[in-house]
Amino acid sequence: MEIRIEHLSKSFGKKQVLRDITFSAVGGKCIGILGVNGCGKSTLLSLLAGVQRADGGAFYFESSDLFQDEKRRQHLVGYVPQGTPLIEELNGWDNLLLWYDRETLKKELDGGVLKVLGVDAFLKTTVSKMSGGMKKRLSIGCAMAQKPPVLLLDEPTAALDLSVKKDILRYLSQYKKSRGLLVMTSHDPIELEMCDECYIMREGVLHPFAYDGNIHTLMEKL
Partner 1 sequence: MKKYIQLQFKRMCRIMLPVMLVAALLICGIYAVYQATVAKWSSDNSTEKFSVALVGGADDALLRLGISAVQTMDASRFTIELIEMEEQEASQALYTGEIAAYIVIPEGFMDHALDGELIPLKFVSETGGKTILTVVKEELSAAVSNLVYASEQGSFALYDALTALGYSEIAYEEMNNLANLYAGQIFNRDDLFSVEYIGVSEGLDFEKALQCGLTVLLLMLLSIPFAGIFVRDSYGVERLLCSNGVGPLKQVLSELLLYGAAMLILVVAFTWGFSHTVIQKLVAAIPVALCIASFCLMIFGITRHLVSAVILQMLLGVGMCFVTGCIYPVSFFPASIQSIARFLPTGVIKTHFSGILQGKAVLESALLLMAFSVFFFTVCVGLRKYRIDHHKGGGL
Q: Least CB distance from residue 84 to partner 1, whole Å?
A: 5
Beta strands (DSSP E) in the chain are 2-12, 15-26, 30-34, 56-61, 64-65, 77-80, 150-154, 181-185, 197-202, 205-209
- Looking at the Cβ atoms of 109 and 144, the one nearer to partner 1 is 144
Q: Least CB distance from residue 154 to partner 1, whole Å?
A: 7
- Looking at the Cβ atoms of 97 and 215, the one nearer to partner 1 is 97
Using DSSP bridges, classify how beta strands 205-209 and 197-202 pair: parallel, antiparallel or unpaired: antiparallel
* Residues of this chain that bind partner 1 (CB under 8 A): 12, 42, 46, 49-52, 70-71, 74, 77, 79, 81-87, 89-90, 94, 97-99, 132, 135-136, 139, 142-143, 154-155, 158-160
- Looking at the Cβ atoms of 97 and 196, the one nearer to partner 1 is 97
Q: Least CB distance from residue 206 to partner 1, whole Å?
A: 20
Q: Which amino acid belongs to residue 155?
A: E
Residue 162 · residue 170 · CB < 8 Å: no
DSSP-derived letter for residue 36 is -
For the chain, how big is the Rg over CA atoms in Å?
Answer: 17
- Looking at the Cβ atoms of 117 and 197, the one nearer to partner 1 is 117
Question: How many angstroms separate the Cα of 162 from the Cα of each of 155, 168, 169, 170, 190?
Answer: 14, 10, 10, 12, 9
- Looking at the Cβ atoms of 83 and 207, the one nearer to partner 1 is 83
Q: Least CB distance from residue 207 to partner 1, whole Å?
A: 23
Could you tell me which of 204, 177, 202, 157 has the C-alpha nearest to residue 43? 204
Q: Least CB distance from residue 216 to partner 1, whole Å?
A: 27
Q: In what order do the strands lie in the sheet with 64-65?
A: 15-26, 2-12, 56-61, 64-65
